[in-house]
Structure 1
Amino acid sequence: MTRFFGYFGLLIIFVLLVKPILPENRGTQHQREAFTAYTKGCENGNAQLCDLVGVYYFGNKVVDVDLDKAITYFKKSCLGGYPAGCQRLGSIYRRGDIINQNYKMAVTYYKKACDGDLAIGCAYLGYLFKNGLGVDQNNEMANKLYHKACDQRPNQGCINLNEHGW
């Protein structure tokens, strides 16, 4: 009887603790299939799908968090011309909580995002110019960037314009 409860206890531990972390139990079947399709699409040159794969690696129930892979996929996305990937990289370099803070790299990636007409990229780039982070402080350039962001998506650049009385 003791042996039965010992095996039964091991079975319960397996079902409750081990089985939920096995790969086949990570996310729904649909989410796992989507991740696989996104990865394939990225390998075939779809920059937007590279960005999505990066988001999965950044934090998701489908795959383990792997920040190096996330950054690699965001770089593929940005180099492929998808502005959201550039914006994500700009934020990663600006914050410096994942990799070493590097405002010059943040400027580079935010500029690519802004050139791709992504309002938040313009707003963050304006912030860097306003505060002289990675670039010479330049209120005129900050103003232009905030206006561009405001024209594209009012609540992102316009808030900055109002805060600075522009």
Structure 2
Amino acid sequence: MTTLLRLFLALTLTGLFTLAPASSAQSPGSDAADLPRACDIDRDAQSCLKQAIRLYEGKKLSKDDLTARRFAAKACAEGAAEGCNFLAAMLEKGIGGPADRQAAVRNYRRACSAGYANACYNLGQLFYYAAANESEVVQARALFAEACDAKIADSCNNHAVMLKFGEGGPRDLPAARALFDAACAAGSIDGCTNYGYMLMMGEAGPRDVARAATLLDAACTANAANACDNMGVMLMNGMHGPADFGKAGTLLRKACALGSHGGCFNLGQMLTKGPERIRDAGAADAAHKEACRLGHKQACTLTTTPLQPGA
């Protein structure tokens, strides 16, 4: 049976509003009612930041993104790196006012240079997903490496992805494998998914299907779509014991429901080319159509009516 083992790019947009906890010491604006005064009059950066967070979250105060952005700007101006990161995220996404990429980059850089690692990670994400030129791709790789050194597990995963695919610099599969392992050990679900794939395929090191299955199964349980896809393919191909099309189908359906176009495609392939007893032309066509809608080009050519990716 011909199947497609998905090679994936597991980069996630997380950490945009990850803020370091405020100092445990009592600031002038520790009382919620005093925060605006402490910010505006006492120029206390942490009070400005706390007020920005409360306005953005809309828990202790009515949600007000416009004013939250103003207080984030004040926190940044008064020297709070977290405030600069918060402001940059709002500028990037157009929250509380117009989007301003240039200003977002400037404020992420300010926070990153001040030692706030989440800002380095966020700027890496911005450059990776919306690079204006090749230089920004190179910078994304360096920024992910910097945030990884600061123990941000997802940044280690992202750096490893760029090493694996040779993005922003030379390709280095052994380094990518080692970094995926480290990212996984540090708590990155995507890191475990990617490390599991390399173990499953024996990329840049010994093949270890048993270890791969353990990692992929745990990541799938945590709703990592690509992990469900790869674990489904493993079971479908009998790579970890006898082929189990029932369990494989369950995992591929979960992967598809979670938005993995590979999961949808592999489900369609299994229902088309698997044992006669599990073939289902209608369900296979539906799976291929969903894979196509999610952007899988090959799946678009396999539907009963040819479609365009994303349709």
TM-score between both structures, scaled by the size of structure 2: 0.41
Higher mean displacement: 145-154 or 122-131: 145-154
Which letter does structure 2 place at the counterpart of 1:116? Answer: A
C-alpha separation in 1, matches of 2:118 and 2:199: 28
- Look up the match of 1:100: 133
Aligned to 2:276: none
SS of alignment partner, residue 81 of structure 1? coil
Q: Which runs of 4+ in 1 moved over 6 A?
A: none
The answer to which of 134-143 and 67-76 deviates more is 134-143
Secondary structure (helix, strand or coil) at the match of 1:117 reads coil
Q: In structure 2, what is the Cα distance between the partners aligned to 1:98 and 1:137? A: 19
Q: What is the Cα deviation at residue 99 of structure 1?
A: 1.9
Structure 1 equivalent of residue 86 of structure 2:
52
1:98 Cα deviation from its structure 2 partner: 5.0
> Please, which runs of 5 or more residues in structure 1 have no aligned partner?
1-26
**CA–CA distance in structure 2, aligned partners of residues 160 and 90 of structure 1:** 19
1:89 alignment counterpart: 123
Residues in 1 aligned to 2:125 and 2:63: alpha-carbon distance in whole angstroms: 31
CA contact (8 A) 1:92 1:99 kept: no
SS at match of 1:153: coil
Give, in angstroms, the shift of residue 136 of structure 1.
2.0
2: CA distance between counterparts of 1:29 and 1:128?
38
Size of the alignment, in residue pairs?
139
Cα deviation for residue 74 of structure 1 reads: 0.9
Assess if the C-alpha contact under 8 Å between 2:154 and 2:188 holds in 1.
no
Residues in 1 aligned to 2:127 and 2:188: alpha-carbon distance in whole angstroms: 25
Partner AA of 2:156 in structure 1 = C
Q: Counterpart of 2:260?
A: none
Matches within 5 A, 1:1-166: 30-95=64-129, 97-102=130-135, 103-165=137-199
Over alpha carbons, which structure has the higher Rg? 2
Identical-pair percentage: 22
Distance 1:29 1:120 in 2: 29
Counterpart CA distance in 2 for 1:124 and 1:29 is: 33
| Distance in 2 of aligned mates of 1:61 and 1:132 | 34
1:125 Cα deviation after fit: 0.5
Change (3 A) 1:145 1:56: same
Task: Give the drift of 1:32.
Answer: 3.0
TM-score, structure 1 length as denominator? 0.74
Over residues 26-61 of structure 1, what are the superposed CA-to-partner deviations in whole Å (9 max), with x where a residue is unaligned? x96643332222111111222111111011111234
Which has the larger displacement, 64-73 or 29-38?
29-38
- CA RMSD in angstroms, aligned pairs only: 2.0
Distance 2:126 2:134 in 1: 8
Farther off after superposition, 138-147 or 115-124: 138-147
The structure with the greater share of residues assigned to helix is: 1
Shift in Å, 1:109: 0.7
